[in-house]
Amino acid sequence: MKQYPPDKIRNVGIIGSGTTGKTSLSEALLFTAKAINRQGGVLDGTTTSDYDPEEIKRQISIHSSLLPLEWKDHKINLIDTPGFIDFVGDAISTMRIVDCLIIVVDAVTGHGGALDNLWKMADNFDLPRIIVVNKMDKSQADFDKTIEMLREKFSKEIVPVQVPVGQEGDFSGAHSLLKHEVPENLKESVALHKEMMIEGIAEIDDTILTEYLENKEITEEELTEHLITALDHDKIFPVFCASAAKNIGSDEILDAIVSWMPPANEKEVPAENLDGQEVKVKPDDQEPFSAYVFKTVNEAHIGNLAYIRVYSGTIKPSSPVYNATKGKDERIGQIISMRGKTRVDIPQLTAGDIAVLPKLKVTGTGDTLCDKNRKLFFKPAEFPEPVMSFSVRPKSKAEQEKMGLGLSAITHEDPTFKMSYNPETKETVISGMGDVHLEVILKRIRERYGVEIEIGEPRIPYKETIMGRSKGQGKYKKQTGGRGQYGDTWLEIEPLPRGQGFEFVNKIVGGAIPKNYIPAVEKGIKEAMTQGVIAGYPAIDIKITLYDGSYHEVDSSDMAFKIAASMGFKKIFVDAKPVLLEPIVEITVSMPPEFVGEVTGDLNKRRGRISNIETDKIVALVPQSELSKYATDLRSFTHGQGSFSTKFSHYEQVPPQTQQKLVEIYQKIREAGGVER
């Protein structure tokens, strides 16, 4: 593949809901441009972009795929993105670095659930976009109905630039509304749709609408010029019709990309210098080198691959670069591009292009690479917080280290994946965008690192506290022949206000317990609190007063007083009206207005308390234990159009029946000799 200047490069993301045919359209465009010599299919697992075994098995895209091609003396970097919401991170990473989008919708079933959020993201990134109504050859395909639905749902600026020739099985192509010559059988359709197109273009210059209504001749060049300007300012979203499976409409889409879509050097790119001040990066190959890493992946037999968008400058193999994010030097080895899993060598890389750098040492997703003499940072993409979590552990303790290595490697690659260790519940927790997302990650770790991982529901970090006061003795006395053990404490327990934690008061007078044993008493109480008393959960918001005790000149020790205090604490805790507390989270749910009632009802069933309702957003306080399957359930009843985020709010007392159940479970575990919850 030859080198292209920035003005001859087009960087295009392909987005849309799952099953609309994004991968099939990508394949058709590659085949039309002769980048591949055979058009593969999703069902038989032969497409260029869906090459991962898991993608072939599930028949969905899991990763974004870079698909470079050449068309009419231009280079087009297509990036095919997943449409399944679990893998939305790849779509976000792609939108961060492309200059425009192709949105694919289904002529039969419509736009699908995921497009709502994707459209909002495209707005946030201020990306020009064209829409392709795919599967026009299918039974019940309806171009007009699809456009009407899109205009109603997303924007009145969505307008056709083509009309279909033939319907369903007879679909054979499209007629451009920019052309003056109109076949007799399409005149009615063209007149209807052309007026819609002209009204959209008139957002930039309304004189063109006046000329049209007055039947003045408007040249194809005039229409095209105004359309490109409107497209570039997000004032119009042109709609094409196609059948990717039959490769109908690909030529026109490729022509539109090179003729209408913005070149890679159209806009200066904002960055920050080391002082945090904004600087503008000029997309010129004569400027110092700078690039953003939008994706990293570890490929078998290849190693780490860093996918980059070059914003300025030029690099060649063996060039030194600086990772400004990590503050470390890197050296470029090879420079390649990937067409799916096929490597394409690149002799040098220039501003505006997208390529892959293998085997970088420290570079990860979201990093900035630059010339060491001009250090700057590009703002990383912002990703949604994970919505589903599993607890994980290796089947064998010997594989603990391998599991840790695998999970750490994935966090390096995937910004929507999180790993943490919860010291309270003593478990490793992984979090992602859904159950399929986490299943795919765990399978990848098993194949890469050879470690079997067991999963479960994360334990809820309940707490124990008290509602009343109590006093009592904790005494430990042991005589075994030689030196014995003796510690005697009298303790008082009372509740503290929620969130106060723990307070220890020493009221010993007259030397009833020597001062040097007092720290051991406090330590014994604290250790007992971490283990819990009634259900094995940590105790909080408690005040303990040590007010009396006794000691033995020979047999007393730190250990004896520590044990005595622990025994006394457990005894008086049980007598002080113990209760369990559960974590309450604030949840913010976003969804189309038509689902507000259903979402509200569902949150009420989960013991939620609604604090705010808007037309497309609900805020509520809900017990954490009620949200373990919420991501799946919300997607189900909002048809994939709902999303949510949570943050910890506070602790509240659990219902009596829940407390009884948790206490019984703990007692059974203790009776069975178990120590782990």
| pLDDT confidence of residue 301 | 67
Residues 27 and 119 both lie in one domain: yes
Domain end residue (candidates: 422, 437, 456): 456
> DSSP states of 426-439 as a string?
TEEEEEESSHHHHH
Structural domain contains residue 665: no
Cα separation, 244 vs 253, in Å, equals 11
How far, CA to CA in Å, does 452 sit from each of 427, 437, 448? 16, 17, 11
The CATH number of whichever domain residue 402 belongs to comes to 3.30.70.870
Structural domain contains residue 671: no
Domain that holds residue 429: 388-456
Residues 525 and 616 both lie in one domain: no
| pLDDT confidence of residue 343 | 87
- Residue 104's pLDDT band (cuts 50, 70, 90): very high
Residues 30 and 163 both lie in one domain: yes
Encoding tokens for residue 274? 């080391």
Structural domain contains residue 1: no
Let me know: does 232 contact 129? Beta carbons within 8 Å: no
Residues 588 and 653 both lie in one domain: yes
The CATH number of whichever domain residue 102 belongs to comes to 3.40.50.300
- pLDDT at 520 exceeding the cut of 70: yes
The CATH number of whichever domain residue 628 belongs to comes to 3.30.70.240
Residues 644 and 625 both lie in one domain: yes
Residues 214 and 311 both lie in one domain: no
3-state class of 551 per DSSP?
coil
Cα separation, 253 vs 26, in Å, equals 11
Number of other residues whose CB lies within 10 A of the CB of residue 186: 15
| pLDDT confidence of residue 487 | 95
How far, CA to CA in Å, does 181 sit from each of 134, 256, 611, 647, 663? 25, 19, 60, 60, 81
Structural domain contains residue 292: yes
Cα separation, 550 vs 524, in Å, equals 16
39 closest CA partner among 296, 244, 217, 263: 244
- Segment 198-244, tens digit of pLDDT: 888 887 777 777 777 777 777 888 889 889 999 988 889 999 999 99
| pTM: predicted TM-score of the whole model, two decimal places | 0.86
| pLDDT confidence of residue 152 | 92
Spell out a b/e string for 260-279, using b for 16 or more CB atoms within 10 Å of the CB, else e.
Answer: bbbbbbeeebebbeeeeeee
- pLDDT at 481 exceeding the cut of 70: no
Cα separation, 168 vs 560, in Å, equals 86
Mean pLDDT of the region 436-454: 92
Structural domain contains residue 175: yes
- Segment 112-166, tens digit of pLDDT: 888 988 999 999 999 999 999 999 999 999 999 999 999 999 999 999 999 999 9
Q: How many secondary structure helices (H) and strands (E) does the chain include?
A: 16, 34
| pLDDT confidence of residue 242 | 97
- Segment 307-336, tens digit of pLDDT: 999 999 999 998 899 999 999 999 998 899
Residues 6+ apart with CB under 8 A from 85: 113, 114, 117, 433, 434, 635, 640, 643
189 closest CA partner among 214, 167, 164, 211: 164
Encoding tokens for residue 14? 């392909």
Structural domain contains residue 83: yes
Domain end residue (candidates: 260, 282, 316): 260
| pLDDT confidence of residue 479 | 77
Cα separation, 142 vs 228, in Å, equals 27
Number of domains in the chain: 5
Residues 572 and 611 both lie in one domain: no
- pLDDT at 676 exceeding the cut of 60: no
568 closest CA partner among 510, 514, 504: 504
- Residue 422's pLDDT band (cuts 50, 70, 90): confident
Mean pLDDT of the region 542-557: 94
| pLDDT confidence of residue 643 | 86
DSSP 345: E
Residues 615 and 631 both lie in one domain: yes
- pLDDT at 651 exceeding the cut of 70: yes
Let me know: does 653 contact 625? Beta carbons within 8 Å: no
3-state class of 321 per DSSP?
strand
Q: What percent of the chain has pLDDT above 70?
A: 98
Residues 565 and 625 both lie in one domain: no
- Segment 390-403, tens digit of pLDDT: 999 999 888 899 99
- pLDDT at 189 exceeding the cut of 80: yes
Structural domain contains residue 559: yes
Residues 6+ apart with CB under 8 A from 439: none
- Segment 258-307, tens digit of pLDDT: 999 999 999 999 999 988 899 999 999 999 999 999 999 987 667 789 99
How far, CA to CA in Å, does 613 sit from each of 71, 199, 414? 50, 36, 33
Residue 495 backbone phi and psi in degrees, to 5: -80, 150
Residues 206 and 64 both lie in one domain: yes
| pLDDT confidence of residue 677 | 43
Residues 178 and 207 both lie in one domain: yes
Cα separation, 23 vs 45, in Å, equals 11
Encoding tokens for residue 324? 């400004």
Cα separation, 591 vs 197, in Å, equals 30
The CATH number of whichever domain residue 313 belongs to comes to 2.40.30.10
Residues 334 and 409 both lie in one domain: no
Looking at every residue in the chain, the average pLDDT score rounds to 92
| pLDDT confidence of residue 345 | 85
Domain end residue (candidates: 308, 341, 370): 370
Cα separation, 567 vs 77, in Å, equals 69
440 closest CA partner among 410, 480, 404: 410
Structural domain contains residue 670: no
The CATH number of whichever domain residue 510 belongs to comes to 3.30.230.10
